[in-house]
Amino acid sequence: MDEAFLLILSGPPGAGKTTVSRIVASHFEPSAVIESDWFWTTVVNGSVSPWENEAEHQNIAMLRASLSSASRFVDAGYVTVLDAHVGPWYMPVVNEELRKLRVPVSYVVLRPMLEECIGRATARGNETSHSMTPSGEGPIRHMYQEYARLGAYEANVLDNSDGDENATADEVIEAVADGRHLLAVSV
């Protein structure tokens, strides 16, 4: 059994988070992937597109729900990968939600070239698992720009423009193993 840890795998739409998170998790046992996009599918009425300015309250609620789920899996001994849109602007929420977690928490941002993100995100169409992820070029560009300004977290970026998901997963695993992208979550 591998020691439990939490990996927050983030990045703009089309960065490859969902594919890479499953590959990373498959290297550990027991392991789980929390796809935060699923939480948006649970809203029956009143959903706001997550990239809209009015969605901030909703986005924080969804992030809290996905972090809470990830924490429960980690507490149960699972290596857990959270596939989520978590930019530095949400680190206070991450810190608050994970403050009692007693395992390593890593943060990796996948950020291929913009054209790669647009191509991937627009190609997937109306997949149910990505129903609240933008598939239009305008929102994708907007969210990509958000991930282009990471400040102190720029060191957590992995450029996966080559499109090789297995090689990207290997890089993520290596970065987590050597502690390059650990978050300092305070109690």
Q: What is the 3-state secondary structure (H, E, C) of 92-127?
A: HHHHHHHCCCCCCEEEEEECCCHHHHHHHHHHCCCC
Residue 180, pLDDT > 50, answer: yes
> Which region among 72-76, 162-166, 183-187 has the lowest average model confidence (pLDDT)?
183-187
What pLDDT was estimated at residue 137?
86
CATH among 3.90.1150.10, 1.10.3720.10, 3.30.70.3270, 3.40.50.300 for 6-177: 3.40.50.300
Which stretches within the chain are classed as H helix?
A: 17-25, 37-41, 56-75, 91-98, 114-123, 137-147, 165-177
Residue 186, pLDDT > 60, answer: no
Q: Which residue shows structure tokens 């239009």? A: 136
What is this structure's pTM?
0.91
φ, ψ for residue 45, nearest 5 deg:
-135, 145
Domain assignments of the chain as residue spans, ordered by start: 6-177
Residue 172, pLDDT > 50, answer: yes
Question: CA 92 to CA 162: how far, in whole Å?
Answer: 32
Strands 31-35 and 6-10: unpaired
Q: Two tokens at 44?
A: 């029956």
Q: Is residue 12 left, alpha or beta, with left meaning phi > 0 and alpha meaning psi from -120 to 50?
A: beta
Position 41 confidence tier, pLDDT thresholds 50, 70, 90: confident
